[in-house]
Copies of this chain bind each other. A is one copy, B any other.
C-alpha cells in the first residue's frame, strides 16, 4: 500500500467536528473529535472512535456514557479550545458554559446548536482509538438554523 495514497484517500472521508464529553464524579473529560457516524436507526446507535490514551476515553470506559456536542459552521474557535487539556471552572468547560446532560450528566455546551447523549453498548479495542458503539438515549436542538461545521472547510484534518 502506498502510504501517500492511503493518506489522501482516507482524508477524502467527510467529517464534522464535535465536542465529546464525559463525566465521572469530579472528573470531566472533553475532546474535539471528528471520527463519528450514526450506526443504526433502531435502536438509534452511533459509533465514535476515541483516542485510547485521552482522559475522556478513561471516563467513558468507566461510566459507559458520553455526550456529543455538534459545532456550528462559525464555531471552529470553540472546537479548538477542546484540543487542549480539559479544565473546569465554575460552570465553564475550557471557557465555555455547560450544563449537565439530563440522562448521563455529561456536559452539554450551551453555545452549540445540537447535542445527544449516548450509552455504550460495545467497544472495539484494536487500534490507537477505541470504537465505542453507543445507543442514543437523549438529544436536543438549541438552534436548528445552524449549519454544522464541515471539518474540510477549516483546512484542518484528522485522518489519513
Contact = CB atoms under 8 A, between A and B. Distances in A.
**Copies of this polypeptide in the complex:** 2
A8 interface: yes
Interface residues of A, number: 57
Given A16-B13, A115-B9, A150-B14, A42 B140 contact: no
A95 interface: no
A116 B9 CA distance: 7
A14 B16 contact: yes
Which residue of A37, A42, A70 has the most chain B CB atoms within 10 A of its CB atom? A37
A136 interface: yes
16 contacts: A10-B116, A12-B113, A13-B70, A14-B15, A14-B149, A14-B151, A35-B39, A37-B47, A38-B159, A39-B47, A40-B49, A40-B129, A43-B126, A44-B127, A45-B131, A47-B47
